A and B are shown apart, each in its own frame.
Chain A
Amino acid sequence: MIDHSDLVERLELLGDAMNFDDVDLAGAVLVDVRERRSRVRARRWLVAAGVLLVVGAVASYPDSRQAVARWFGFDSLSVEVDPELSVPAAEGPFEAAGPGETLVVDVDGRPITVSTVVGRLNTAVVAKTVGSIDQIEEVTVQGRDGLWISGAPHQVGYESPDGSIVVERVAQNTLVWQSGDVLVRVEGFVELSDALAFVDGT
């Protein structure tokens, strides 16, 4: 009969036996940070060039928030973390009226919204605002970088065909990724694994 203290000892020995003595991650991590930062900086400048087009109109709003904790982005999507964000949930699935197509499909009785937005290269066409970094998970979708945004309601804004900024408040979990110039959104799955399986057609 194996008792629990014996099991704990065996598990601790297993940990001791893992061989990471020769691993020094600090150098590799800092090099990656530097390279990533350079890429992000270049991309941010390009995105900022598009965003600054609306700065004149924006600057007139007195309640502009100054607290941005974290910013993610693709060519045609920006995601910002705003700890002050507090939005009510939207009723029903979100259908983007922007350039692209939206399709609502039934998956096991649950409405799933699939939409594509044709993004102009290096321009933020869609912007999201979430309340916590914990709502964002960086994922790989069919070999491409994507984001899984889950948890509390989040805010989505996009540039409509007439050039104005349209805002929706979205309640459901969203998988989003960039495929070429097209931004793809899948909204409505509870679990990331189910969303990824849906995308993979499995």
Chain B
Amino acid sequence: MTRDNPGLAGSLFVVGTLELVAVSEGYQTVSSMPPADLTECDDVVLLSRSRGGDVAAFGELVRRHQDAALRLAAVIGGSTEEAKDIVQDAFVSVHGSLASYRGTGSVRSWMLRVVANHAKNHVRSQTRRRRRDDRHARLNTRPLEGADVLAEGALEREALIAALHRLSRDDRDVLGSRFVAGLSEAECAEVFGVALGTVKSRTSRALGRLRYELESNEATEVRQ
């Protein structure tokens, strides 16, 4: 046990003086449309400007990656309804952690990793609440086709969602992230903190298991 440790004391000093260098208020207006030049900036530039208190730059980052984030949250959390709240909370956390981005991966992957962690926390919380209940997938989708194929498409999607939710958590996460949320293999590796080779092998195995689940379900329906 060390008393009056200079390392910790130094840290406290910095915490104590943090307010002296706090950035100025920058939230007088919240615009729903980014300035034109921000859309031309790459993510690293936007992040750098966000660190300096540029709210519009952070808004552009949110806007740019919210679609992938929402899909990712939906597939991990099992609900499109709750995805918005999960991503909103996650992006607020991202803003609070801007200084911790080390540049070792893409800004997008770093943001999506925070989203994935929030979604997993959400699932844990929900699981505790519904310990005795089955968790049903609530991935709401809209019709993409005409009315003539609507019913068939909806049934197919329902079967696919049900099959996804019979998979293990790892299998569901990798398939959902890769193909439903549209992340690259490299992004999946960064988001879930695994090697690229692990993503490849896990994806292949998960596709095999998904195929098994779908075919087993179809065989059951035929017998009935």
Contacts and interface: CB of A to CB of B under 8 A. Distances in A.
Interface of A: 1-2, 4, 7-8, 10-20, 23-34, 36-37, 40-41, 44-45, 47-48, 51-52, 54-55, 57-59, 61, 63-71, 78, 80-83, 124, 127, 129, 132-133, 137-140, 155, 157, 164-168, 192-193, 196-197, 200, 202
17 contacts: A1-B215, A14-B179, A15-B179, A17-B142, A20-B66, A20-B67, A26-B59, A26-B60, A26-B62, A29-B91, A51-B15, A61-B10, A64-B14, A67-B14, A68-B15, A80-B11, A138-B121
Question: Which 5 pairs between the two chains have the least Cβ-Cβ distance?
Answer: A133-B100, A64-B10, A11-B179, A17-B141, A167-B5
B55 A65 contact: no
Interface residues of B, number: 79
Interface of B: 1-19, 22, 27, 30, 32, 55, 58-60, 62-63, 66-67, 70-71, 74, 80, 83-84, 87-89, 91-93, 95-97, 99-100, 102, 117, 121, 124-125, 128, 131, 139-144, 156-157, 160-161, 175-176, 178-182, 204, 207-208, 210-211, 214-215
A27 B34 CA distance: 11
B8 A23 contact: no
B128 A14 contact: no
A166 B1 contact: yes
Interface of B is mostly: helix
B66 to A, nearest CB: 5
Nearest to B182: A15
Given A15-B181, A69-B100, A165-B9, A51 B142 contact: no
Contact of A127 (B12, B27, B62, B160): B12
Contact of B16 (A52, A129, A165): A52
A3 to B, nearest CB: 8
A26 B8 contact: no
Given A10-B156, A28-B88, A44-B18, A82 B11 contact: yes
Nearest to A13: B144
Contacts of A10: 156, 160
